[in-house]
Amino acid sequence: MTKLLPATPDNIHRAAAVLAGGGLVAMPTETVYGLAADAENDAAVRAMFAAKGRPADHPVIVHLADRALVDDFAADVPPAARKLAAAFWPGPLTLVLIRGSRISDLVTGGLATVGLRVPSHPVAQALLREFGGPLAAPSANRFGRVSPTTAAHVLSDLAGRVDLILDGGECSVGLESTIVDCSAAGAVGNALRGVPDLRGVPDRQGVPASVAILRPGAITADQIAAVLQSPIAESAAAAPRVPGSLPSHYAPRARVELVSAEELLPRAMQLASSGEKIAVLTRQRPDIGDQQVAWLPIPADHAEWAASLYGLLRQVDELGCDAALATLPVEAGIGVAIADRLRRAAGPRSP
């Protein structure tokens, strides 16, 4: 049975006890809701993978209460990672580092690296402190589906599969954390570069050790470059290097088509006239008097668009639409992350 409880101090206390007993707790973070398990309890981590329906070779992020704990869980923390942690933790940033000995193969999917994050959400913070250890937490959705940004989203995906959901309201960022790979920027990463079976440390033989963005998010490439005082590639959307990632990640059931602003109305009418139920994600109400077309309004502000995107994609399915039409934002700031998620939602589906 899944309990859905408001994130009061009493219930956070209760949730910490569930985690200590090897149970699963869905917790709000500033990005999306996470499905938390004791990262040092293999049985709990296995149960978490099973609840999500997630393949075992897909690594999960380990959440820590404080950036001072990073050395307990990473074997090699290069200066670039320390600078980024000091600038952005707690917050929506995950650092990929060479893993420490306390991190099990189950958590990393056998990789030599681990993704670490210190979330800023007060409920996640309180739970991490009360629990007193690292929490492995992927997004609290069924594998391959849209990440949850409310407790109700979690319930609709994981009812009966998670012991307790802490309701902390809507997530403020609404897109998953920016993932920055620093694993090749330190001494150990350098020594290991080019080792063929070392999955997770990108093969950068002949390429200078560098820091790379694996997944864009609310912390932008410009912000990262400013802290590191060197430019950083924004290549994630074109060439995702996150192991095990599928193109159709973050997708609703409905088909998603990305179109230009000019194509949007003609395409919507064409599909509707062929009998499909269509949703259009646009800022202004489209001028179509057709019942087969549902309008899901997009906020003008990019941060608000990011925060509402997953809720809108879920609504597309709730409305029973066959397809959703959307336009891409200008790819600057968090617009890069919005465009990345929309492209993945529109990407080829696995069978």
Q: Which residues bind Mg ion (CB under 5 A)?
A: 139
Q: Which 3 state secondary structure label does DSSP give 218?
A: coil
* Shortest distance in whole angstroms from residue 124 CB to ligand TXA: 8
Q: Which does 214 bind (CB under 5 to 8 A by kind): ligand TXA, Mg ion, none?
A: ligand TXA
Candidates 94, 125, 149, 308; binder of ligand TXA (CB under 6 A) is 94
Positions 122 through 181 that interact with ligand TXA (CB under 6 A):
137-139, 176-177, 179
Residue 31 touches which of ligand TXA, Mg ion, none (Cβ within 5-8 Å per kind): ligand TXA
Return left, alpha or beta for 301; rule: phi > 0 is left, psi -120 to 50 is alpha, else beta: beta
Nearest Cα neighbor of 242 from 208, 210, 209, 200 is: 200
CA distance from start to end of the chain = 31
By the rule CB under 6 A, 96 interacts with ligand TXA? yes
**How many residues at the interface with ligand TXA, by CB under 6 A?**
28
Token digits of residue 8? 């009061």
- Closest distance of CB 25 from Mg ion, Å: 17
How far apart, in whole angstroms, are the C-alpha atoms of residue 121 and residue 333?
A: 21
Calculated CA dihedral for residues 298, 256, 285, 154, nearest 10 degrees: -50
| 235 counts as binding ligand TXA under rule CB under 6 A | no
Q: In angstroms, rounded to a whole number, what is the distance separating the alpha carbons of residues 10 and 141?
A: 25
Structure tokens at 252: 């609703």
Q: In the complex with Mg ion, which residue's Cβ is closer, 23 or 59?
A: 59
Minimal distance in Å, beta carbon 300 to ligand TXA? Answer: 24
Name the nearest CA neighbour of 152 among 4, 286, 351, 318: 4
Query: Using N-to-C axis directions, what is the helix angle for 9-20 and 122-131, rounded to 10°?
Result: 50
In the complex, residue closest to Mg ion by CB: 139
| DSSP conformation class of 139 | B
Q: Which is nearer to ligand TXA, 41 or 139 (CB)?
A: 139
Among residues 41, 108, 149, 150, the one that binds ligand TXA under rule CB under 6 A: 108
Among 11, 41, 113, 282, binds ligand TXA (CB under 6 A): 113
Stretch that binds ligand TXA, among 109-117, 273-281, 293-301, 303-311 (CB under 6 A): 109-117
Q: How far is it, in rounded angstroms, from Cα 241 to Cα 69?
A: 26
Please pick, from the candidates 156, 235, 245, 292, the single residue that binds ligand TXA as defined by CB under 6 A.
Answer: 245
Query: In 3D, which of 266, 332, 262 has the Cα closest to residue 293?
Result: 266
Q: How far is the CB of 248 from Mg ion (least distance, A)?
A: 12
129's tokens: 């402190």
User: Which listed residue (243, 286, 299, 347) binds ligand TXA by CB under 6 A?
Assistant: 243
Residue 315 CA to residue 277 CA, distance in Å, equals 13
Partner whose footprint covers residue 179, from Mg ion, ligand TXA, none (CB < 5 to 8 Å by kind): ligand TXA
Angle at 340 (CA atoms; ends 335, 345), nearest 5 degrees: 125
CB of 41 to ligand TXA, least distance (A): 17
Chosen from ligand TXA, Mg ion, none, partner binding at 59 (C-beta under 5 to 8 Å by type): ligand TXA
Least Cα distance to 184 among 157, 218, 154, 208 occurs for 208
Lay out the site mask for ligand TXA across 29-68 (x = CB under 6 A, - = otherwise). x-xx-x-----------------------xxxx-------
Decide whether 113 or 220 has the Cβ nearer to ligand TXA. 113
Report the DSSP pairing between strands 164-167 and 255-258: unpaired
For residue 179, the SS3 value is strand
Answer yes or no: are the C-beta atoms of 140 and 35 closer than 8 Å.
Answer: yes
The site partner of 58 among ligand TXA, Mg ion, none (C-beta below 5 to 8 Å per kind) is: ligand TXA
Binding site for ligand TXA (CB under 6 A): 29, 31-32, 34, 58-61, 94, 96, 108, 111, 113-115, 117, 137-139, 176-177, 179, 200, 214, 242-245
